[in-house]
Structure 1
Amino acid sequence: MIHRIFAADAARFVRDAEGSAGGGNAPAAAPEPATFSTDYVRELRAENKGYRLKASEFEQKLKAAEAAVAQHVAAAEAAAKSHAEALQKRVSELQDGFHQRLIDAELKAGSIAAGLAHPDFLTLIDKSAVSVDADGAVQVPTDFWSGVKASLPHLFTATGADKGTTSNPAAAPKPAPSTVKHVSEMSAEEYAAAEAALLKQR
């Protein structure tokens, strides 16, 4: 009897010891994962789609703006180039006209010493050999008037030597070097006097 009571107590002690050991080291239960409702997930997806559409729309507007800017820049560059070319052409025309007036004035002054019968005959003379240098000085070849006389003698008045009426049977003396100044070397008064002398011959 005493033996059975002792065995029952020993078995109870073992069970209590195992129960205490197992209860202290039992692993904690894992937390359940958070879940979202279907409506909330649908709203998030719709919002994300709206952002994507706005980003795509903004990108298209940006590309259109860049294309418009490039078009305006190209048009402005073309207009500026055209304006510069027209301005350069106009400057060239004005410069050519100014040079031609310088040449005409120089030849008009030189025609007096050369014996041109009338200033209007200057329009019949080839002036292509006469030029204006970079400094604005008119360059007349030294044989210019002699060449014009040889090709167009009827435009000039005959001098005594030309008519052969000189009293000296020997060869006519060489004419003195021309003292006619270039127009670029004349003062305003000298140019006015030369022009007045030409007008008196009309």
Structure 2
Amino acid sequence: MLKISKLFHLLMVRNLMMFVDDPDGGVVGPPKNAPASPETFSREYVGELRNENKTYRLKAQALEAENQAASDALAKAGTEADAKVAAATQVANDRILRAELKTVALKAGMIDLDGLKLADLSLVKLNDAGDVEGADALMASLKESKPYLFQSSSTTTQTQTAPNKKDPETVDVRKMTKEEYAAHKKSFAGK
């Protein structure tokens, strides 16, 4: 790539230098001091010049092809990198969305978070600020259509009463008669 730019730079400088020395600005016309007889070159010399020109022309074409291939590879790599970044961003946004939905579902009183798998998430979006839009509406529609997924909204704590704390009666078996002991033993056998 560096070779191509150097070659291009040299060609441009050479072309510009041709016109800098020319006071006519590159206008082609008869030379001012034309020699009486034109110079002629031998066929061998002209052939050598043409071969040299051909060599440089082929090198320039090869370098141009390399430059084009490198440009194409660079463009392809850039496109692939953009696609990977977009895919990674989408995965990260989906994770954020699921986490936020779980938080909203717990606040709404959802009993089991597996209930989110039943929800239509197409209406829920993540905005540019990173906030979830449409989550509250989704929970409201889920409460209406699938109320079994949610706790009753009247209380947030369990209202079951604790069992009575009653110390078991201690009975001294040594002080019992044989009939009392048999009756006491029967009362436990039934349980």
TM-score normalized by structure 2? Answer: 0.54
Query: Within 2, Cα distance between the matches of 1:149 and 1:103?
Result: 20
Q: How far is 1:142 from its partner?
A: 4.1
Aligned to 1:110: 104
**SS state of the match for residue 121, structure 2?**
coil
**Alignment partner for residue 93 of structure 1, among 83, 87, 97?**
87
Query: Within 1, Cα distance between the matches of 2:153 and 2:84?
Result: 45
Q: How far is 1:89 from its partner?
A: 0.7
Q: How far is 1:155 from its partner?
A: 2.7
Higher relative contact order (CA 8 A, sep 6+): 1
Aligned to 1:169: none
Query: Within 2, Cα distance between the matches of 1:71 and 1:122?
Result: 56
Q: How far is 1:107 from its partner?
A: 0.7
Query: Within 2, Cα distance between the matches of 1:109 and 1:141?
Result: 10
Aligned to 1:134: 128
Aligned length: 116
User: 1:18-64 CA deviation, whole Å, 9 max, x = no partner?
Assistant: xxxxxxxxxxxxxxxxxxxxxxxxxxx9x822211111101111111
Aligned to 1:81: 75
Structure 2 unpaired stretches of 5+:
1-39, 156-191
Aligned to 2:64: 70
Larger Rg: 1
C-alpha contact (below 8 Å) 2:143/2:150 kept by paired residues: yes
Aligned to 2:55: 61
Query: Within 2, Cα distance between the matches of 1:78 and 1:85?
Result: 11
**Regions of 4+ moved over 6 Å:** none
TM-score normalized by structure 1? Answer: 0.51
Query: Within 2, Cα distance between the matches of 1:74 and 1:151?
Result: 60
Query: Within 1, Cα distance between the matches of 2:123 and 2:110?
Result: 18
Matched ranges for 1:156-167 at <5 A: 156-159=150-153
Query: Within 2, Cα distance between the matches of 1:72 and 1:81?
Result: 14
The RMSD of aligned alpha carbons is 2.2
Query: Within 2, Cα distance between the matches of 1:141 and 1:124?
Result: 14
Query: Within 2, Cα distance between the matches of 1:96 and 1:151?
Result: 29
Matched ranges for 1:4-43 at <5 A: none
User: 1:64-89 CA deviation, whole Å, 9 max, x = no partner?
Assistant: 11211111111111111111111111
Query: Within 1, Cα distance between the matches of 2:68 and 2:145?
Result: 57
Identical residues among aligned pairs (%): 22
Query: Within 1, Cα distance between the matches of 2:140 and 2:109?
Result: 11
